[in-house]
């Protein structure tokens, strides 16, 4: 089954509220931390969230309660098993798109054409303005309360937040039920595990892949070889502004495999249009792998040749803080920054409940089309206009 026959794509989405709802974070004090002060507990355990002065501000604002009692004294001594609640106050999240185009949908799954700039899952500044929020709102609106309780809308793979401004980033596959989520997640996990298997094991499992993702990308420089296989492992390093660390090319990282095929070379602009099939699903894998071989994605603000960040000093610690007590937005590039040229173009999968093969295609932005594709598109538009 294919989505190619769709002539009028369905679009859904609700405008974002001015402020989100804030977040409540719960903790139970372990006995090993009994005797710590309130500010010691938070500044040690959550130093990635705010510096010491930021946590002092939050406590003095009355944003933290201990066993149901708001505490404004940072030197309050904590006892084991005390229940702590930190309230991150509501804030206005950065402006992002809210409309989502449906490429394919049935009772078990939905494939979206994700707009650039919209984050997939909650994280950092984006806790409400995400694909997941719009999915949940849509399911709740469409279904009666009982059926809504049975549904479980959730994206099942990663897709970066940004490309060039105004682009659709491409296919994002989402499950609509718990069963389909489990099976689709297993498809992706199986593909990644095959990359780390030894050659004999790969041969035994050859042909068993149940999902395939193909991307288009525009990279800097001219690739000499028509086809390149990149098997550089990907690991994590400390990086300012990224609490859990930054993914980079690393010999001690986890196995990753990308197959790159040159579609067109542009000597005048010194760039190459490529197709990339990934057989593992490491975060930022395509960006890291293409930069590792010396051809970063065009306009990628973060990764440069070698699969490393453009600005790198893992020892930098920023002690200044924003109005809410958290760290100021880093001045160095971070993974969510937009601008690079990447598009999730095609997805082929075995349906999680029927085993039917599903073929999903997301329309290409003009800059990622070959010359022949651009000509075909122009001819098609001319014929339509003539009618």
pLDDT at 93 over 90: yes
Nearest of 284, 288, 286 to residue 261 by alpha carbon: 286
Planar angle of CA 245, 248, 251, nearest 5 degrees: 115
- Binning pLDDT at 50, 70 and 90, where does residue 141 land? confident
Span 233-245, average pLDDT: 85
pLDDT at 144 over 60: yes
Please give the pLDDT value at position 135. Answer: 94
Please give the pLDDT value at position 189. Answer: 84
Strand partners, 215: 276, 344
pLDDT at 242 over 90: no
- Binning pLDDT at 50, 70 and 90, where does residue 201 land? very low
- Binning pLDDT at 50, 70 and 90, where does residue 208 land? low
Q: Is the pTM of this model over 0.95?
A: no
Please give the pLDDT value at position 276. Answer: 97
CA gap 113, 150 in Å, rounded: 25
- Binning pLDDT at 50, 70 and 90, where does residue 288 land? very high
Q: 100-197+208-312+335-368 sits in which CATH class? A: alpha beta
pLDDT at 177 over 70: yes
CA gap 55, 41 in Å, rounded: 10
pLDDT at 199 over 60: no
Please give the pLDDT value at position 180. Answer: 94
pLDDT at 204 over 50: no
pLDDT at 311 over 90: no
Span 132-157, average pLDDT: 80
Strand partners, 220: 271
Please give the pLDDT value at position 331. Answer: 62
pLDDT at 317 over 50: no
CATH level 2 (architecture), domain 23-88: Roll (3.10)
Please give the pLDDT value at position 255. Answer: 94
Span 22-51, average pLDDT: 94
CB atoms within 10 A of CB 203: 10
Span 150-171, average pLDDT: 73
Domain ranges of the chain: 23-88, 100-197+208-312+335-368
């Amino acid at each position: 089954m294919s989505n190619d026959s769709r002539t009028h794509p369905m679009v859904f989405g609700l405008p974002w509220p001015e402020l989100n709802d804030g977040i409540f974070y719960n903790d139970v004090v372990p006995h090993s931390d009994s005797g710590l002060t309130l500010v010691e507990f938070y500044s040690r355990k959550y130093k990635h969230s705010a510096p010491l002065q930021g946590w002092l501000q939050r406590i003095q604002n009355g944003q933290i309660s201990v066993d149901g009692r708001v505490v404004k004294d940072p030197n309050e001594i904590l006892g084991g098993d005390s229940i702590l609640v930190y309230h991150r106050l509501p804030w206005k999240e950065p402006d992002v798109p809210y409309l989502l185009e449906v490429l394919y949908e049935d009772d078990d799954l939905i494939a979206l054409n994700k707009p650039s700039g919209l984050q997939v899952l909650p994280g950092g500044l984006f806790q409400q303005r995400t694909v997941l929020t719009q999915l949940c709102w849509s399911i709740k609106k469409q279904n009666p309360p009982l059926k809504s309780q049975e549904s479980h809308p959730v994206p099942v793979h990663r897709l970066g937040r940004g490309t060039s401004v105004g682009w659709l980033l491409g296919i994002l596959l989402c499950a609509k039920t718990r069963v389909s989520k489990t099976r689709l997640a297993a498809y992706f996990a199986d593909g990644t595990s095959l990359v780390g298997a030894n050659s004999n094991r790969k041969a035994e499992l050859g042909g068993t892949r149940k999902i395939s993702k193909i991307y288009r990308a525009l990279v800097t420089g001219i690739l000499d070889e028509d086809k390149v296989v990149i098997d550089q492992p990907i690991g994590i390093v400390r990086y300012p502004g990224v609490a859990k660390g930054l993914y980079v090319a690393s010999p001690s990282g986890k196995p990753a495999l990308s197959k790159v095929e040159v579609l067109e070379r542009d000597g005048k602009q010194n760039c190459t249009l490529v197709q990339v099939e990934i057989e593992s699903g490491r975060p930022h894998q395509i960006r890291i792998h293409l930069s590792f071989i010396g051809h970063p994605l065009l306009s990628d603000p973060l990764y440069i040749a070698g699969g490393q960040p453009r600005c790198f000093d893992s020892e930098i610690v920023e002690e200044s803080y924003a109005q809410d007590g958290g760290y100021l937005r880093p001045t160095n590039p971070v993974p969510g920054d937009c601008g690079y040229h990447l598009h999730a173009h095609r997805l082929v999968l075995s349906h999680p409940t029927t085993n039917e093969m599903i073929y999903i295609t997301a329309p290409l932005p003009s800059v990622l089309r070959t010359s022949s594709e651009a000509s075909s598109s122009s001819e098609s538009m001319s014929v339509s206009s003539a009618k």
